[in-house]
């Protein structure tokens, strides 16, 4: 495996040295690097782009009429301020067994590992029972319509697949003395909304003649902060609790039992049991001497999978109570899930059991959004987020994503290559 370890490390370093901060993205530069890399193994690929500098790459090992599997990843990254880093964010430096750079964890590591797994399988003469697809897309971080959402709409056959492995999971926790690796099988819906509180404007020197919307908004802010939504045991929460506790406890005991196992678990489990509401922004008068007639509270709202804003708006109104306000949902993105009992789950679970003694896999619903949503919505794809990190501490990895000094141990990069190769052979092998 040492040869593939070096191959993946070098490819990751080259990817990290390409600035694909989105915006503007410029992902075509990364796609062309990958095209050249694949060509050295005799693999042809296609670039699909809504604009020339925002390319998506699709490569395919054609198989029979069996199920198809996609390795899904994205090449764009969030911004990086070099002044906050100990090393140049686009250096791709290898230091103390770790590769440094913006995107090392999110998610050029997975781009490199999946590409090396894909190319090495082809070099070994692997003939899949169904198509094996390398799907490397643009514009995941911003989502302005240049990436997978555009690809499945404009070139649906290019991205069609039965199964997919994407980002969103792989974190490792030691619970009850045994390692548990998270696998994201679903994601919550991002459904932010505004509460628009209405009043009457007036001169700030004469507050009695006005109806201050900002003051009126205070009680709605307090109500949102104090609201405890109803809980339910969704399949992902039940599967996670069963994996870590050995059983599914009654709903009312779930958080207590999780806390008894590990003090960090309740914070992880609680968002799996209900919607979450977090007021994050407020806007009222833009002049000190004008009492505002309108005050807008922006609320980050995350819904359980397959729940809609229409389902929860009555709950939000009940929490706010009566008054002169309006609720406007700004968007609704994500919120899809994949089943837990599938051949892909079985393949990943078997690999996880081989990572280290006693290791097992547990389902989780991602609090954030991933491109898995577009595959599930367009094709009914079973898509999981999984890239196991054994060497890097989970708490450290979480802090480094979208932050300074992002890096990944080469040991974990090599583990990712092994995971992709194992899964392809297990799912699409003879």
| Whether residues 221 and 238 fall in one domain | no
Of the residues 317, 333, 349, which one is the last residue of a structural domain?
Answer: 333
| Whether residues 301 and 329 fall in one domain | yes
| Whether residues 171 and 307 fall in one domain | no
Q: Give the CATH number, domain containing residue 403.
A: 3.40.630.10
Token match 């039992």: residue? 257
Of 310-319, 347-356, 360-369, the poorest mean pLDDT is in 360-369
Domain for residue 12, yes or no?
yes
Domain for residue 340, yes or no?
yes
Domain that holds residue 236: 231-272
8: number of Cβ within 10 Å: 25
| Whether residues 310 and 204 fall in one domain | yes
| Whether residues 6 and 152 fall in one domain | yes
Q: Give the CATH number, domain containing residue 201.
A: 3.30.70.360
Measured CA to CA, the distance from residue 4 to residue 2 in angstroms comes to 5
- Residue 430 has a pLDDT of 84
- Residue 200 has a pLDDT of 96
| Whether residues 266 and 199 fall in one domain | no
> Quick check: 177 pLDDT over 90?
no
- Residue 2 has a pLDDT of 74
Rounded to two decimals, the pTM is 0.93
> Quick check: 65 pLDDT over 90?
yes
> Quick check: 367 pLDDT over 90?
no
| Whether residues 126 and 261 fall in one domain | no
Token match 């008054």: residue? 323
> Quick check: 10 pLDDT over 60?
yes
Q: Which of 174-178, 259-263, 334-338 has the highest mean pLDDT?
A: 334-338
Average pLDDT over residues 114-137: 98
| Whether residues 17 and 162 fall in one domain | yes
| Whether residues 356 and 415 fall in one domain | yes
Confidence bin at 369 (pLDDT 50/70/90):
confident
Of the residues 333, 355, 370, which one is the last residue of a structural domain?
Answer: 333
Domain for residue 181, yes or no?
no
- Residue 59 has a pLDDT of 98
Q: Would you say 183 and 196 are in contact if contact means Cβ atoms under 8 Å apart?
A: no
- Residue 176 has a pLDDT of 84
Q: What is the mean pLDDT of the chain?
A: 96
Confidence bin at 342 (pLDDT 50/70/90):
very high
242: number of Cβ within 10 Å: 14
| Whether residues 144 and 250 fall in one domain | no
- Residue 235 has a pLDDT of 96
Domain for residue 217, yes or no?
yes
Q: Would you say 377 and 159 are in contact if contact means Cβ atoms under 8 Å apart?
A: no
Percent of the chain predicted with pLDDT > 70: 100
Q: How many domains does the chain have?
A: 3
Average pLDDT over residues 310-329: 96
| Whether residues 278 and 268 fall in one domain | no
């Amino acid at each position: 495996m040492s040869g593939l370890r070096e191959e993946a490390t070098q490819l990751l370093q080259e990817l990290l040295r390409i600035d694909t901060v989105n915006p503007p993205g410029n992902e075509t530069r990364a796609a062309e690097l990958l095209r050249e890399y694949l060509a050295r193994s005799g693999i042809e690929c296609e670039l699909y782009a809504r604009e020339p500098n925002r390319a998506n790459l699709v490569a395919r090992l054609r198989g029979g009429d069996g199920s198809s599997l996609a390795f899904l990843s994205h090449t764009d990254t969030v911004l990086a301020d070099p002044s906050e880093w100990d090393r140049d964010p686009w250096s791709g430096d290898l230091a103390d067994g770790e590769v440094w750079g913006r995107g090392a964890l999110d998610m050029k590591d997975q781009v490199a590992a999946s590409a090396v797994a894909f190319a090495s399988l082809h070099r070994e003469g692997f003939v899949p029972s169904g198509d094996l697809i390398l799907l490397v897309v643009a514009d995941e971080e911003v989502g302005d319509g240049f990436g997978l959402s555009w690809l499945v709409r404009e070139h649906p056959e290019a991205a069609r697949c039965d199964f997919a492995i994407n980002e969103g999971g792989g974190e490792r926790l030691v619970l009850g003395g045994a390692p548990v690796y998270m696998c994201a099988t679903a994601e919550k819906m991002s459904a932010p909304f505004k509460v628009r509180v209405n009043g009457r404007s007036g001169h700030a020197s004469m507050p009695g003649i006005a109806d201050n919307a900002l003051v009126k908004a205070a009680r709605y802010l307090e109500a949102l902060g104090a609201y405890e939504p109803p809980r339910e045991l969704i399949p992902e929460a039940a599967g996670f609790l069963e994996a870590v506790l050995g059983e599914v406890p009654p709903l009312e005991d779930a958080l207590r039992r999780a806390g008894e196992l590990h003090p960090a678990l309740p914070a992880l489990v609680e968002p799996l049991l209900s919607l979450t509401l977090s007021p994050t922004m407020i806007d009222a008068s833009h002049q000190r001497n004008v009492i505002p007639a309108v005050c807008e509270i922006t609320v980050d709202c995350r819904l359980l999978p397959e729940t809609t804003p229409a389902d929860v708006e009555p709950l939000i109104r009940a929490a706010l109570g009566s008054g002169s306000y309006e609720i406007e949902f700004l968007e609704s993105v994500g919120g899809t899930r994949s089943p837990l009992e599938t051949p892909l789950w079985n393949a990943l679970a078997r690999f996880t059991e081989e990572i280290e003694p006693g290791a097992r896999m547990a389902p989780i619903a991602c609090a954030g959004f991933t491109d898995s949503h577009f595959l599930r919505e367009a094709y009914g794809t079973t898509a999981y987020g999984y890239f196991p990190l054994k060497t890097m501490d989970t708490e450290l990895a979480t802090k480094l994503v979208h932050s300074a000094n992002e890096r990944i141990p080469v040991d974990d990069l090599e583990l990712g290559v092994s995971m992709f190769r194992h899964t392809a052979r297990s799912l699409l092998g003879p």
